[in-house]
């Protein structure tokens, strides 16, 4: 595809933005979690790892090298796996309380899939 690299960069930027948006609202403690905040840091900060991987994906999308396109495939698979793990962690019910899922968690789940599709369909012109 002609614009797959630009679509991939846009999806990676969307993933970075999604890490700052609200992911889930927990009514029992009356707090909204994001990719960088969870109560007493019990879920960690998956936004840090996702942002680092998204920045690496942007760099690899912009490099016209064959090895960069191959490395981007691996990186996009890591992004998908970690976003699924984070989705299950933040959106699952515990002790009879289910959090309300917010827009950020859905964007965090969809953006890596778009990054992976863009990595599978790289632009034709590459250097060895």
pLDDT higher than 80, residue 123:
no
Share of the chain above pLDDT 70, in %: 95
What tokens appear for 53 in the block? 């991987």
To 10 degrees, what angle do helices 66-91 and 103-120 make?
160
Banded model confidence at residue 126, pLDDT cuts 50, 70, 90: low
pLDDT over 70 (residue 125)? no
Instruction: For residue range 29-75, list pLDDT tens digits in order.
Output: 999 999 999 888 888 899 999 999 999 999 999 998 999 999 999 99
* pLDDT at res. 116: 96
Q: Which of 123, 125, 120 is nearest to 6 (CA)?
A: 123
- The residue-averaged pLDDT of 6-10 equals 94
**Strand order in 31-33's β-sheet?**
31-33, 24-26, 100-101
CB 50 within 8 A of CB 80: no
pLDDT at position 41: 87
């Amino acid at each position: 595809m002609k614009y797959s690299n630009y679509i991939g960069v846009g999806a990676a930027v969307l993933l970075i933005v999604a890490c700052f948006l609200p992911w889930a609202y927990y009514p029992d403690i009356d707090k909204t979690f994001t990719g960088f905040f969870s109560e007493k840091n019990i879920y960690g900060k998956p936004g840090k790892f996702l942002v680092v991987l998204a920045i690496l994906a942007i760099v690899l999308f912009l490099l016209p090298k064959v090895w960069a396109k191959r490395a981007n495939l691996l990186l996009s698979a890591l992004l998908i796996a970690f976003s699924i793990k984070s989705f299950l962690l933040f959106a699952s019910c515990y002790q009879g309380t289910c959090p309300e899922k917010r827009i950020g968690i859905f964007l965090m789940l969809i953006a890596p899939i778009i990054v992976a599709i863009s990595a599978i369909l790289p632009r034709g012109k590459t250097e060895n």
